[in-house]
Amino acid sequence: NPDGVPVIFLHSGPGAGASPECRGFFNPDVFRIVIIDQRGCGRSHPYACAEDNTTWDLVADIEKVREMLGIGKWLVFGGSWGSTLSLAYAQTHPERVKGLVLRGIFLCRPSETAWLNEAGGVSRIYPEQWQKFVAPIAENRRNRLIEAYHGLLFHQDEEVCLSAAKAWADWESYLIRFEPEGVDEDAYASLAIARLENHYFVNGGWLQGDKAILNNIGKIRHIPTVIVQGRYDLCTPMQSAWELSKAFPEAELRVVQAGHCAFDPPLADALVQAV
């Protein structure tokens, strides 16, 4: 609805890209729905490109889209990495945000990226799949897997890049759904999410320290905010949502008996209600 309440959907990843299903959280009679593919992924080009691709480049892109569409203020909706980006955008442009709906809170801290992609974290839940994830890395480099994967994902040999990308993306698939789908996805389709996630993780999301987002909550306390978190989320565990809610008591935390995937019925229902 061009006259509806403007809302922007910020997808996960970094590098996951958007899909038509993302519209399903919003009543098209009520909302003016804006969905973008962030730099380097989905239908944005150049594909899987990390050059000039930082959190602050994405924040600037979002603001350019708002200006181009002539929107004064909008609702910002983001999950997983999209929650990081939503918070970064809101803290940079609080005057442009009508409200926030956040899901699967991820603050791009080293402790969170280590949980995902270093030994001793979620690897304990899926040890059999973890062995496949570490297989491309020499044993003497497995103490710093994110860094080691960086060398493979940005290797000059395309086959090396694609093989590493598939291993990275397959591992993540097991964390997103209780019954993973798409783990046999084409390697090229995995390149953007693997390369861009790694690029952001290696650089700490270009945030100023572990508590960068939490320390700037004062800038957005006035913005109506709902946090929807899956209790059994293995990808972005409950701890980060809990810490965010403690730093941001004005926000409403809604815990759902679900995992990470926004399209699982319990989470999808909670997100629609939050909107």
Q: Catalytic annotation on 93?
A: no
SS3 content of the chain, % helix, strand, coil (to 5): 50, 15, 40
Q: Spot the catalytic one: 11, 150, 199, 260.
A: 260
Of 233, 240, 245, 264, catalytic = 233
Instruction: Phi first, then psi: give them for residue 215, nearest 5 degrees.
Output: -70, -15
| Amino acid identity at 23 | R
- For residue 15, how far is the Cα from the chain centroid? 8
Q: How far apart are CA 184 and CA 170, in angstroms?
A: 7
Question: Which tokens hold the place of 257?
Answer: 């008996």
User: Among this protein's residues, is 233 annotated catalytic?
Assistant: yes
Whole-number Å distance between alpha carbons of 91 and 232: 28
Mark whether 86 is an active-site residue. Answer: no
| Cβ-contact 5, 75 below 8 angstroms | yes
> Within a 10 A sphere around the Cβ of 126, how many other Cβ atoms?
16
**Residue 62: CB atoms within 10 Å:** 23
Exactly one of 12, 80, 83, 86 is catalytic; which is it?
80
- What is the SS3 string spanning 121-178? CHHHCCHHHHHHHHCCCCHHHCCCHHHHHHHHHCCCCHHHHHHHHHHHHHHHHHHHCC
Positions marked catalytic: 80, 233, 260
